[in-house]
Amino acid sequence: MEPLYESKISCICCETVFITTRVRPSFKKATAVDSDFCGHYAKGTNPEFYVVRVCPKCGFASTENGFSSLSEVQRKSYYERIGNNWRGQNFSGERSIEEAMMSYKLALLTAQVTDSKDRVIASILHHIAWLYRYQNNETEEKKFLTFALEAYIRVFETEGISLNNAKLMYLIGELSRRTGEFNEAVKWFSRVVNDKKIVDAAMIRACREQWQLIREESEARRLSLSGTSS
Ligand SMILES: [Zn+2]
């Protein structure tokens, strides 16, 4: 059985019905998952490459978490800033990492001009960082992790400590750690660990582990620094 299959969806912007490609659930087996939930997959089966659906007619690019319909204002804004310049490109079929990257960049632009929620934008930015990680491009990865971090913080500031934000707080801590903001990271990890209202055991454990990692790494840095000065 082929790992990819096709399904038809209707564009929420221009109503064109188009084919989008997905990875079959039985092939979505991550060989490893990073501490910020970035999955690694066997070649040709990475479901992250197919998250963004791009309409070949108008270029509207979105994920399942985006809007289910558009207002006239959003549609007008989309056409004025992106759609009218769209030259037509088909993203169906197997995607290379470069095509996946282009689909996410289109989704980012689309989300920005249609005034999407920060949660949607944060997730797109985070996925772009993952694609750079797959390509071992650390400079761009860090840049987009920083953008994602800023967007996740905006989500937290809007939603506060509601329902299940332990995962959001963990992610803010972890992206702070990955971008070298160790004090900020510790602040978020300790919040999750010490807040009695948070009962998400998996996230509490993850925060403890990454907090411990920061301690070990700063200890190692201290030792290597004192080693070079002697
Ligand atoms: Zn369309």
Q: What is the pLDDT of residues 105-143, one digit of tens each?
A: 999 999 999 999 999 999 999 999 999 999 999 999 999
> In the predicted model, what is the mean pLDDT of residues 90-101?
96
Residue 113 lies in domain: 1-137
In a domain, residue 143? The reply is no
Same domain flag for 128 and 200: no
In which band, very low, low, confident or very high, does the pLDDT at 162 lie, cut at 50, 70 and 90?
low
Name residues with Cβ closer than 5 Å to ligand 1, which is an ion. Answer: 11, 13-14, 16, 55, 57-58, 60
Distance 83 CA to ligand 1 centre (A): 9
Cβ contacts of 219-222, under 8 Å, gap ≥ 24? none
Distance 103 CA to ligand 1 centre (A): 14
Same domain flag for 132 and 40: yes
In a domain, residue 147? The reply is no
In a domain, residue 154? The reply is no
Q: How many domains would you assign to the chain?
A: 2
